[in-house]
Amino acid sequence: MQEVNQNLSLTHLNDQGDAQMVDVSGKSQTLREAIAACQVRMTLATFTAIAAGNAPKGDVLGTAKIAGIMAAKQTSNLIPLCHPLPLGKIEVNLIPDAELPGYQIRATVVTKAETGVEMEALTAVSVAALTLYDMAKALEKSMQIENIRLLSKTGGKSGDYSVKELK
* Contacting its own copies within 90-129 (CB under 8 A): 90-91, 93, 110-114, 118-119, 122-123, 126-127, 129
φ/ψ region of 147 (left if φ > 0, alpha if ψ in -120 to 50, else beta) reads left
Residue 160's SS3 state is coil
Using the minimum distance from each CB to its own copies, give the nearer residue, 104 or 133. 133
Cβ–Cβ < 8 Å for 126, 133: no
83 is in an annotated binding site: yes
| Residue 18 is a catalytic residue | no
Which residues, including other chains, have CB under 8 Å from residue 21's CB and lie 6 or more apart? 12, 81, 83
167 binds its own copies (CB under 8 A): no
Q: Looking at beta carbons only, is 86 or 99 nearer to its own copies?
A: 86
161-162 and 102-113 as β-strands: parallel, antiparallel, unpaired?
Answer: unpaired
CB of 33 to its own copies, least distance (A): 8
Based on the shown chain and the rule CB under 8 A, indicate whether residue 165 belongs to the binding site for its own copies: no
* Residues of span 24-53 touching its own copies by CB under 8 A: 24-26, 31, 38, 43, 45-46, 48-50, 52-53
Number of residues that bind its own copies (CB under 8 A): 103
Interior angle at CA 167, CA 142 and CA 88, nearest 5: 85
Cβ atoms of residues 152 and 34 within 8 Å? yes
| Residue numbers annotated as active site | 134
Which positions make up the binding site for substrate? 81-83, 119-120
Which positions make up the binding site? 81-83, 119-120
